[in-house]
Amino acid sequence: MIELYNAPVSTCSQKVRMALWEKDIAWQDRVIVFQRNDHLSDWYLAINPNGVVPALVHDGNTIIDSSVINEYLDDVFPQTPLRPETAVEIAHMRAWRQFIDEVPTVAIRYPSFNAAFVHIWSNMSDEEHRQYVDRRPLRKHFYRRMGRDGFSKEEVDAALEMLRLTVERMQASLAQSEWLANDMFTLADISIMPTIVRMDDLGLAHLWADLPKVGDWYDRIQKRPAFAKTYGAGSRDIHPSC
C-alpha cells in the first residue's frame, strides 16, 4: 500500500508522481490543498514535520523529501529501474541530482514565489502576513527575505543566472548522451523535469532557445506516457515549488 501526499502544482510532488508512473507502481493519491493549509495542519505535520510536500507512506512507513522518495522507490521496486547499473554511472547520476537539488530547484522558487504570492498578500494586513509566514516550520526565513512585495529584481536576476547555468550544463551533457546522465532515462531527468516545465510556464523558455539539445530533451520527455499522467488538471498553475 503506497500513499503519496502531494499537491498537483508542487514541483517536488511532480518528481515523485513521474517516478511512480514511470515504474508503473500502484499508489493512492492523497491530495494536499495549499489553499486550505492542509500542509500546515496538525495531522499532516505528524506525517511530515517540515510542512512541505510530498510525503510517501508505504506499509505504514513514512518517507519524506522527493529525491529520497524516488531513490527509495527504485530500491524497493527494482523493476523498470530509473538508475544505471554500475556504481560509477550511479554516482554520475547522483551528482546531477545533487546539483539539481541545490541549484535550479532553489533558483526556480524566486520567480515562482513572486508569481504565486505577491497578489495574495496584497490584501493582508502586516499582522496577517506575519502569521501566514510564521506558521511555516521549514521556510519561514525564506518568506521573510521575500517580503510582502516579493523578491527584488537583483535576486530574481541572480536566480535566472543559475537557471541559465543549469540549461547550459544540460546542453553539454546531452551532447554526450541521450539523456541527462546516461543513455537511459534516469532519476536525473525526472529531477530536473519540473523545473524546466515551471520555467516554460513562467515564460522563461527563452533561456534555452539557443540550446537545441535541451529543447530536444524537453520535447522527448513530454512525449513519455508518464508525463501526461504526471501533469493532470491544475498541475501547471503557477505555485510555489514544494
- 30, β-bridge pairs: 5
Q: Is the pTM of this model over 0.85?
A: yes
β-pair type (2-6, 55-58): antiparallel
Q: Give the class (CATH, top level) of 2-76.
A: alpha beta
The domains of the chain are located at 2-76, 87-225
Distance of CA 92 to the CA centre of its chain: 20
Classify domain 87-225 at the CATH topology level: Glutathione S-transferase Yfyf (Class Pi); Chain A, domain 2 (1.20.1050)
Mutual angle of helices 153-174 and 187-201, in 10-degree steps = 140
Q: What percent of the chain has pLDDT over 90?
A: 91
Rounded to the nearest 5°, which phi and psi values hold at 30?
A: -105, 100
Over residues 63-102, the pLDDT tens digits come to: 999 999 999 999 999 999 999 999 999 999 999 999 999 9
3-state class (DSSP) for residue 223: coil
The contacts of residue 105 (CB under 8 Å, 6+ apart) are 11, 12, 191, 195, 241
The residue with cell 527504485 is: 74
* pLDDT score of 194 more than 80: yes
By CB atoms closer than 10 A (0-12, 13-18, 19+), residue 200 is middle
